[in-house]
A and B are shown apart, each in its own frame.
Chain A
Amino acid sequence: MSLPSKITPDNIKEAIVEVRYDSNTTFEVLIGIFFQAFDDSWFYTTRPYQSKASPLPTVRQNVSQEVTLRIGSESLFYNGKINIRVLPGSFVFSCLNEYIGWAAYRPEIEKALRIVSSTGVIANWSRVGLRYISEYPGKDLKDCLKFSFSFGMPEIASETMAFRSEFNYKEVKVILNLSSRVPVAIQPAPGAPINIIPTSITDIDVIRDGLRTNKVEDLLNIIENCHESEKELYFGMIEEKFLTTLKPEY
């Protein structure tokens, strides 16, 4: 079965590609090496570290004076299409603005990975993860996907629902999160009343772990395979009637 190469709208909110690596060089030195290797079409910046959320719900009065110094920053490379978070042990790719489509996204990832690989400091590519998150404002999940949910009392219809599943599919591990009719507040215009829009979400995380290769060609093939699995799962789940509304192009 051929899969669409494009749908409109694609409803994609995030399209993350994470590639993990092992290196025998310390991270601080790696950043310098990568900075030298990326050409002038890439920009480099650092962003001060963000805090983790407080592990427990906090009482406002008790946190009013909490100020923390956290020294250090996160390294970011970006060009006109994508940005890359460079972290110890991983590169995390995402689009600079809205999703640009795999046909444009993949070459940018490839370009960056070839640059990184050419430095010779990557001992091993250890893991690939692709995570696509789509949102469907105003829709029930069952209107978008071949999915229904009921439990011991079938007369009860859920107003909102979250579902999580982990499974193996071909060579990849998949973490699937589905949510139906989550309340989302949207303000149509500044000053206008806030509208609560029930929104459904599909979140498909495809993971290929335990890799042992330092060849960039192998890595690119694995990323492509992961994307193919991601597509198969998404279009395998999608309701055919709903798909026709998305103007699929083959």
Chain B
Amino acid sequence: MPATPARPDVILYYPIGYVDKREPYRESDGRIETYSNSITVCWDHNSGIYSENPIGGTYATPNPFNANRQFIALEKSFLKQLEQDPDFIQGANPYVLREKMKLSANAILAYAPDKISLQLTEESIFYTLIKDDITLYLQHCLVDELDGRDEALISIQRNNINLFNYGGSLPEAIVHIKNFLIPQYNPVPEFA
């Protein structure tokens, strides 16, 4: 029987819920690769242009709609707190602060957290993120003191055991978070 020619318009994706076990992250810690709380949905050509290719592991395709919800919730919280504390940073342009918040919030939402919160602290934005048994703290310092780049402090814990700390520029901090938590590509746009 002759082989059936492949349809040129069909792109093969893993099925919904496929667990890619080729590259378990933090294998040495005995962690298992999971779909926490929600199944990764293949936003493939079903619905058009917001396609995501699920190849690459659990975190390759965080649900874009959940991420948008969390992003909106963070921004609302930020604006509310900024409104309550107009002197949060003397002389700072609220528009610039808002755009800076978007960058750091957006970067850590790539981790598809189960829970995330935001708190304005002294001249910084403090994020607390929970994903599975990992808790991540990110302090985005909004006032640069050295080279004009935003700075950040991160601390990653699992079950109250400290796993990783870092202090440096925001983009570098985000890269470290990515390397630690997300075994795949992640963009870090720097605030221009």
- Chain A contacts to B: CB under 8 angstroms: 13-14, 16, 18, 20, 45-60, 63-71, 73, 76, 78, 83, 85, 87-90, 92, 94, 96-97, 129, 131, 133, 135, 160, 162, 164, 175, 177, 179, 182-187, 190-191, 194, 196, 199, 201, 203, 205
Q: Is the interface of B mostly helix, strand, loop or mixed?
A: loop
Inside 8 A of A199's CB, which chain B residues have their CB? Answer: 17, 39
A-B contact pairs, 8 of them (CB 8 A): A47-B68, A85-B50, A89-B49, A94-B68, A94-B69, A175-B46, A182-B19, A191-B159
Which residues does chain B contribute within 8 Å of A70, judged by CB atoms?
187, 189
Kindly list chain B residues whose C-beta atoms are within 8 Å of the C-beta of A64: 175, 179
Number of B residues, CB within 8 Å of A: 62
B57 / chain A contacts, CB cutoff of 8 Å:
57
Q: Given the complex of chains A and B, what is the CA–CA distance between A106 and B152 in angstroms? A: 43
> Does B15 lie at the interface of the complex (its beta carbon under 8 Å from any beta carbon of A)?
yes
Residues of B contacting A96 in the complex (Cβ-Cβ under 8 angstroms): 69, 72
Least Cβ–Cβ distance between B11 and chain A, in angstroms: 11
Question: Contact: B133 with A185, CB < 8 Å?
Answer: no
Q: In the bound complex, do residue B56 and residue A58 qualify as a contact, i.e. CB atoms below 8 Å apart?
A: yes
A133 touches B102 (CB 8 A): no
Chain B positions 149 through 192: 1 when the CB is less than 8 Å from some CB of chain A, otherwise 0:
00000000001100000000001000100010001111111100
Contact partner, A16, options B16, B47, B190, Cβ 8 Å: B47
Q: Which residue of B lies closest to A191 (CB)?
A: B159
Give complex CA distance A13, B35 in Å: 14
Given A54-B56, A190-B130, residue A201 in contact with residue B16 (CB < 8 A): yes
A16→B41 CA distance, assembly (Å): 13
Residues of B within 8 A of A63 (CB): 184-185
Residues of A near B102 (CB, < 8 A) are 45-48, 73
Asked if A131 contacts B47 (CB within 8 A), the reply is yes
Say yes or no: A53 contacts B35, CB within 8 Å. Answer: no
Residues of B within 8 A of A50 (CB): 64, 67, 106, 110, 187
Q: Chain B's nearest CB lies how many Å from the CB of A149?
A: 13
Give A175 to B18 CA distance when docked, in angstroms.
18
- Name the A residues within 8 Å of B48 (CB-CB): 18, 20, 90, 129
Seed contacts A54-B60, A190-B135; 7 additional CB < 8 Å A-B pairs: A45-B75, A51-B185, A64-B179, A78-B72, A131-B46, A183-B35, A184-B37
- Flag if B56 contacts A135 (CB, 8 Å): no
Give the nearest-CB partner of A129 in chain B.
B47
